[in-house]
Amino acid sequence: MDARKRHYGWYEGKEVFEYVLTNDQQAVFRCIDYGAVVTGIEVPDQFGKRENVVLGFKQFEDYVNDSPYFGAFVGRVAGRIADGAWSAYRLTQNEGQHHIHGGVHNFSQRVWDSRVVKENNKVGVAFSLVSPDGDNGYPGNLSVTVTYYWTNENVWEMLITAETDQQTLFNPTNHTYFNLSGNTKRKVLNHTLQMDAEKYAETNGAKLPTGRLLPVANTAFDFRVPKKMRTAIKERPEGFDTPFKLTGNKKIQLHDPDSGRILVIETDREAVVVFSTTDMEEDYLVDGEKMSSHRGIALETQELPDAVHHPKFRSIVIEPERTYHYRTKYTFTTHQA
């Protein structure tokens, strides 16, 4: 297995590097130390053709100027916090009156310390960052490390650790958008999605959870058996920006029957937010075409959003003198032709 580091750009006077991890099958995982962004994952289709299966940009400046969190590590807290309020603290209100994705100049918009790490059957990059006390209104000095491993079995492992010196909030996610067709040659409408999720979190007009967890049975939110995204969008034309509470094995599967590619996600997190990119009509280019609806789908493993206001949701409060660990695994395989 091989790990290479190269210059990628400059940000606020800091040099930004790209890491290219290549396994023995020549499948490739690419990431940069700006925002711990995953810039590319090149895996074979059912005929052995290797292509990129995530949305991203060709040049660094686009990640700074245009990115809707393509591939980014988002924190301290992913998603929205109503009114930017927690306990006696006031967080940055960067979506109207609400707080979203950790605030302004959040984890996804900073240059992280980075280093290559190797184990027997995998190679990776460890990204580390200290978020200071008061960062976007959050208390406590928070030390975070996220490690992306790439294995010979075409598995991306994301391991997160965190420590704080004061009680604070922590609910990060990776915001990669997937398109298994390869180089976004087709939209994701023919992809099928399946999840171990019996309930979803009802949201209001501000996309904030109401606190009610509703059964998916007999609704557009039922992905307990494989469902084509075309069917799901027909059932719910406004699309999905929806938290699902995971159950059982907490497994999520995305399949593109045209390429034969399959992505299986396994996690120890409580939930996944499915973002279908519906009505995402933008001027920036992805693989030479303007960003548009259903060019990708984000599957964001995390705890349920706005948990600080809903006691029945898993707590995202973390305490000092403890090390917190979070894990998500992404396995890329194929159905053979």
- Find the catalytic residue in 98, 175, 255, 294: 175
Q: Quick one: tokens of 95?
A: 């979506």
Residues 6+ apart with CB under 8 A from 131: 75, 76, 107, 138, 141, 142, 143, 144
For 36, half-sphere exposure in the C-beta direction (CA atoms, 13 angstrom radius) is 28
Catalytic site residue from 51, 163, 300, 303 = 300
Cis? peptide before 76, omega within 30° of 0: yes
Active site residue 255: no
Report the side by side order of strands in the sheet with 251-255: 113-119, 122-131, 142-151, 155-164, 324-334, 261-267, 251-255, 192-195, 227-228
Q: Where are the beta strands (DSSP E) in 165-226?
A: 168-169, 173-174, 177-178, 192-195, 197-203, 209-215
Residues pairing with 99 in the sheet: 81
DSSP classification of residue 85: E
Our answer to whether residue 175 is catalytic in this structure is: yes
Q: Do residues 56 and 35 make contact, with C-beta atoms less than 8 angstroms apart?
A: no
Between CA 201 and CA 79 the distance in angstroms is: 13
Residues in the chain: 337
* Phi/psi of residue 335, nearest 5 degrees: -90, 125
d(CA 261, CA 180): 6
Q: Provide the annotated active-site residues.
A: 175, 300
